[in-house]
Structures are given as C-alpha cells and as structure tokens.
Structure 1
Amino acid sequence: MDCNTKDVPIQFLLWQILNAQRQKAIQWLENVDMKPGQAGCLFILSKYGTLSQKEIAEKLGVKPPSMTVLLRKLEKKNFVIRMQDENDQRISRIYLTEEGKAYIDQIKEMMREMDREMFEGILPEEKMLFRRLLIQIRENLISKEGLQDYEAQMKKECISDWSR
C-alpha cells in the first residue's frame, strides 16, 4: 500500500477486509462449483430445516424465478430435494439431503480456515478484544434512530452455529 496505513480511515480498512474475505469465499466456492446464493440456501435449510421455496426466497432476498433456478441447480447436485407439502399440495417443501449436510460441513471448515488465516499472528486475548469492539461498534450503529428493524432482523436471521 502506497499510503501510510495509520492515515487510512478505519471504515476503509473494514471495507478492504470484508471485500478480501468475500473474494476468498467466492473463489473457494467457485473451486467447488457453487455460488454464494446456493451456499446461503444450504445454510438457511441447515438452520431452519424444511422450508417452502417462497420462505427460502424471502430469507435470501431473491425473487421466486431466481429461487427456482437456484434450487434446480442444488437438486442437480443432489444437495436438496423437493417434496409436496402433506397438508397443501400447492406448496413444495425443500429438504436438505445427506450430501447437502456434508457440504455444509465443508463450508464450515472453509470458514474456520479463513478465520485461522485472518487471525494469524493475533493473540487470543487480542481476538477477544477485537470481537468485543466490533460488537460495541455494531450496537452503536444499530441503536441509532431508524435501524431498530435492522437489529431485529439481524438477530432473527443470525446463523451463529456455523462453527459446530
């Protein structure tokens, strides 16, 4: 980097870190022929169990036609199966297959590896302090006017069991 790092705004450093992390994740997913939305779908199913196509689309924030394409690709890979709802034949329920569950474990391992890379050379107590500071910053931001809905949504959708 050409400029003095002490002069770089923290927001820009955070953006760079998030962007680098996202690029690494996309690269890893591409190496195993997976798109981020597909991985997100698998995570949602691992968290909530069986959901309708519409429910998954809402949680991913995608339009139903995009969801149809995404699910077809996951079905082709045998990561999910579709079955008619027992009570309402108009609704298809999406289930995670054993292969899908195993793939989730691979994604979790990739996330753990990325965590190890990110915190290489950082002491455990420094990592704990960093986490505490990030939580405080997040709380500062979402406690401001107009972000309460975001806070509620974030807590509702938080996938905190990725390390299991």
Structure 2
Amino acid sequence: MAKKDKQKKRDKSAKEKPEAEKAKDGPVPGELLSDLTRSARSMRTFLTNSLVHSGLYAGQDGVILALDGEEGLTAGQIATRLGVKPPTMTRTLSRMEAQGFVRKLPGVADGRLVRAALTEEGRKHVAAIQLATKATEAMAFEGLSEKEIRQFGRILRRINRNMAGKPGVEDGFGE
C-alpha cells in the first residue's frame, strides 16, 4: 500500500473513531428525550398548520376523530383515549361546543354525566383532519420502511405504558 493511501486510511479512521466510540457508549443522557420532544413538536406544528384554515386548535382534531369513531363519549373517555386529564378535556369540549363542533348530550343513566357528540359542523372536518394526519405522518416517516414504522410504533406504545400512572407525569397541556 502506498504511503499516501496509508495516510488517507489513518485520517479516515481518526474521523470515524469519535462516532464509533459514541455509538459504543450509547446516547448522551437527555439526547433521546430531546430528539423525541423536537420530533413530536415538529409533527404537531405541521399538523396544526395544516388545519389552521378550519378553525381547529391543537388537540381538537383528536377529539373530532374520537367522536367520529364513537358518538356519545364522556369527557373522561375521550381524555383517556387522547392521554390527557379529564379537566383538560372538559375545557376542550366546552370550547368546541362554543365553536359549534360538538354538542353535549345528557347521560343515559346519570343525568349529571355529560356525553359529547359531533355536530354537522364538526363532521365537516373529519376528512380534512384525516388527510392532514396522513400527510403529517408521511412527511415524518419519509425514508423509513413499513417495518421500521411498525417497530417505532411498538416502542412508543411501550414508552407510554412505562410512563402511565407515574407520579409527576402530566398530560402535556400544561396542567
């Protein structure tokens, strides 16, 4: 091997070594959390911007999709499905009722229990929300295989199970 080629190989090896050492030691503490937070924020921002013309606020898209799947859910049921606290959902439903997206229904067995249903105005947004959600996911997962996407989903669900019910875990909406 020529002297010049040996020097190139040493230079290349020196550049790669820190990355190889980093991979061996694992991620820097806090780096994965930071990456996950940035990714989630970027996806949420893209989705929100895609829906801005509809008059929907962040989080309301999930409520509409939940009620499109099953009418008459309580605030607690929707909150559980979306991973937020019931008081947060109660406020969200009140705001959405004022906007004309949902209507409140009395409870069947207990009149104090309030259920929610979509109005015609709320139903008009289902297709747009589904399209915006699909576009957001397509952009976020560009270049990933179906297998990688499924694996990522399993990992996220595992993280959510690990964190569920732990003291200090809030709903992400500033409560």
Normalising by the residue count of structure 2, what TM-score does the alignment of the two structures yield?
0.58
> What one-letter code is carried by the residue in structure 1 that aligns with 2:100?
N
* Corresponding residue for residue 32 of structure 1: 54
- Aligned counterpart for 1:106 among listed residues 94, 111, 128: 128
Matching of residues 1-164 of structure 1 within 5 Å:
11=32, 14-60=36-82, 61-64=84-87, 66-120=88-142, 122=143, 127-135=145-153, 137-138=155-156, 147=162, 150=164
- For residues 87 and 47 of structure 1, do their structure 2 counterparts lie closer, same or farther at Cα, with a shift above 3 Å needed? same
Tell me the residue number matched to 1:3: none
| Matched pairs, number | 136
Contact 2:79–2:89 (CA under 8 A) maintained in structure 1: yes
Identity of aligned residues (%): 24
Query: CA–CA distance in 2 between the matches of 1:63 and 1:18?
Result: 22
Bigger CA drift: 51-60 or 96-105?
Answer: 51-60
Q: Which runs of 5+ in 1 are unaligned?
A: 1-5, 151-164
| Residues 79 and 85 in structure 2, CA contact (< 8 A), matched pair in contact too | yes
Q: CA deviation at 1:138?
A: 4.9
**Structure number, greater radius of gyration:** 2
Aligned counterparts of 1:45 and 1:22: Cα–Cα separation in 2: 20
Contact 2:51 2:128 in 1 (8 A): no
Root mean square deviation of aligned Cα: 3.5
Structure 1 partner of 2:167:
none
- What TM-score, normalized to structure 1? 0.61
Distance verdict in 2 for CA 1:135–1:107, change over 3 Å: closer
Distance 2:156 2:86 in 1: 29
126-135 or 40-49, which deviates more: 126-135
CA distance in 2, matches of 1:112, 1:83: 31
1:156 is aligned to: none
**Unaligned 5+ residue runs, structure 2?**
1-18, 165-175
